[in-house]
């Protein structure tokens, strides 16, 4: 029984060393941007840009329903069979294999697949939220795909999505669905106080739209560099309160392994610390709840 429990724990919370999977992460990040930009182009806008995000599935990530003409289509990354599938409401399906290939090669086959299905869409080819961006249709540099580490990452994302569902379920105010953001390559949910937030300055317009309401955001980030080049170099759980209330960064947060990152303006809990905890799911949930309780109390949310 002990070995079975250990095997189950390793399956749910596998090792994900950044040095071993960073090349796959960077390539996969850009592949998701190609698909995400199609959704951005065709879906009507929603508050806080919820319409652009992906959703976790039992096998990977999906765009969900994308309107086109008088019907719709959907795109799914399957990290068990390692294929990208495109399905339309008129019954057609096409697949693109997830294999080692350049971003430009993936772009060409994916866009040709859409054309074959009668879906004519043009996207902005410059990637978002990455340092030193290369146009997606010209990027021959990023070309790694290790199916073992891609699946490990997705299994972590799946487990975190289940924890975030539990975290979200106890809140009766406005909260976002559990969403995967292809721009920053992270999974998150946000709770909102109901009050507007001050407009962010010196940032892209999409960030202003995403942070236009006072919120506490919690999620999982696999360690990739931010647009400014900030690199943590390891997978982490993260959480922040926007706008950040006085005293937030110095507040005691559970568990003790959580630390405030001044440059990013948020708390981080290293994945490996949570993975090694006696009860990883509880440690992660405690982190999310601790951040919310602290942020909402310091910002004087009307929690009643």
* C-alpha span between 271 and 199 (Å, rounded): 32
**Amino acid 150: pLDDT:** 98
Strands 93-97 vs 71-78: parallel, antiparallel or unpaired: unpaired
Strands ordered across the beta sheet of 179-181? 179-181, 186-196, 213-221, 236-242, 266-270, 259-261
- Rounded to a whole number of angstroms, the distance between the first and last alpha carbons of the chain is 45
Q: Specify whether the CB–CB gap between 193 and 296 falls below 8 A.
A: yes
Q: Specify whether the CB–CB gap between 60 and 81 falls below 8 A.
A: no
Residue 30, H or E segment: helix 18-42
What distances in angstroms separate CA 296 from CA 195, 245, 291, 292, one per listed residue? Answer: 12, 9, 8, 6
Confirm whether pTM is higher than 0.85. Answer: yes
Maximal C-alpha separation, the chain: 56
Q: If you write DSSP's letter for every residue of 57-115 in order, what string do you get?
A: -SSEEE---EEETTEEEEEEEETTTTEEEEEETTS-EEEEE--S--HHHHHHHHHHHHH
Cβ count near 285 (within 10 Å): 18
* C-alpha span between 26 and 111 (Å, rounded): 20
Written as tens digits, the pLDDT of the chain (304 aa) is: 334 466 778 889 999 999 999 999 999 999 999 999 999 999 999 999 999 999 999 999 999 999 999 999 999 999 999 999 999 999 999 999 999 999 999 999 999 999 999 999 999 999 999 999 999 999 999 999 999 999 999 999 999 999 999 999 999 999 999 999 999 999 999 999 999 999 999 998 999 999 999 999 999 999 999 988 889 999 999 999 999 999 999 999 999 999 999 999 999 999 999 999 999 999 999 999 999 999 999 999 999 8
Cβ count near 243 (within 10 Å): 13
**Amino acid 6: pLDDT:** 64
Length of the chain: 304
> Between helices 2-12 and 147-169, what is the axis angle to 10°?
90
DSSP conformational letter for 145:
-
Q: Where are the domains of the chain?
A: 16-116, 147-298
Beta strands in the chain (DSSP E): 55-56, 60-62, 66-68, 71-78, 83-88, 93-97, 179-181, 186-196, 213-221, 236-242, 259-261, 266-270
- 129 exposed, middle or buried (CB, 10 Å; 0-12, 13-18, 19+)? buried
Cβ neighbours of residue 111 closer than 8 Å, sequence gap 6 or more = none
**Amino acid 304: pLDDT:** 85
């Amino acid at each position: 029984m002990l070995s079975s429990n250990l095997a189950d724990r390793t399956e749910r919370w596998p090792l994900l060393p950044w040095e071993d999977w960073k090349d796959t992460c960077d390539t996969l990040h850009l592949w998701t941007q190609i698909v995400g930009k199609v959704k951005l182009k065709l879906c009507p806008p929603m508050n806080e840009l919820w319409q652009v995000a992906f959703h976790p599935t039992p096998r990977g990530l999906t765009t969900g329903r994308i309107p086109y003409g008088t019907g719709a289509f959907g795109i799914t990354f399957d990290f068990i069979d390692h294929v990208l599938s495109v399905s339309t409401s008129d019954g057609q399906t096409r697949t693109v294999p997830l294999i080692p290939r350049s971003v430009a090669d993936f772009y060409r086959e994916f866009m040709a697949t859409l054309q074959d299905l009668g879906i004519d869409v043009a996207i902005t080819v410059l990637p978002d939220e990455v340092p030193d961006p290369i146009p997606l249709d010209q990027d021959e540099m990023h070309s790694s795909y290790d199916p073992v580490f891609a699946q490990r990452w997705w299994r972590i994302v799946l487990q975190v999505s289940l924890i975030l569902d539990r975290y979200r379920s106890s809140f009766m105010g406005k909260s976002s669905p559990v969403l995967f953001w292809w721009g920053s390559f992270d999974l998150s949910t946000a709770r909102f106080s109901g009050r507007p937030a001050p407009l962010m300055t010196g940032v892209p317009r999409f960030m202003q739209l995403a942070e236009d309401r006072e919120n506490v955001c919690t999620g999982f980030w696999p360690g990739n560099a931010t647009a400014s080049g900030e690199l943590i170099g390891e997978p982490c759980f993260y959480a922040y309160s926007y706008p950040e209330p006085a005293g937030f960064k110095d507040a005691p947060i559970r568990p003790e392994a959580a630390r405030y990152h001044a440059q990013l303006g948020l708390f981080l809990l290293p994945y490996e610390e949570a993975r090694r905890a006696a009860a990883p799911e509880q440690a992660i949930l405690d982190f999310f709840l601790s951040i919310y309780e602290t942020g909402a109390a310091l910002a004087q949310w009307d929690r009643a």
